């Protein structure tokens, strides 16, 4: 595989959309492969434009991460403080 194909495959794996939209993910890989192949600049530009559109669609389909943002961190710290306060109040 070429550089573009490798990067697109990595992004698709990171987005976890290959199970949600396997056909669209394969289209993205095929477009990336056509960019990596030797060929005319016009064909590569057309493939790049289409790849950008397909990747935007895949990014929109990606599951939303629910853990790891600052709000979750604050909520986790708060829960730990409350548990510690309950334990101390219970004589622990």
> What's the pLDDT at 68?
66
Instruction: Report the alpha-carbon angle 70-76-77, nearest 5.
Output: 90
> Per-residue confidence at 25, pLDDT binned at 50, 70, 90?
very high
Over residues 34-83, the pLDDT tens digits come to: 999 988 999 999 999 999 999 999 999 998 866 667 777 888 888 899 88
Nearest to 76 by CA among 67, 89, 87: 67
This prediction has a pTM of: 0.69
- Number of C-alpha atoms within 13 angstroms, CB side, residue 81? 6
């Amino acid at each position: 595989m070429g550089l573009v194909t490798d990067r697109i495959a990595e992004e698709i794996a990171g987005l976890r959309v290959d199970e949600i939209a396997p056909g669209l993910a394969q289209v993205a890989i095929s477009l990336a492969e056509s960019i990596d192949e030797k060929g005319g600049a016009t064909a590569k530009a057309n493939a790049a434009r289409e790849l950008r559109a397909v990747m935007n669609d895949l990014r929109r389909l990606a599951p939303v991460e629910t853990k790891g943002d600052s709000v979750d961190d604050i909520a986790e710290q708060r829960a730990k403080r409350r548990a510690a306060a309950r334990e101390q109040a219970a004589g622990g």
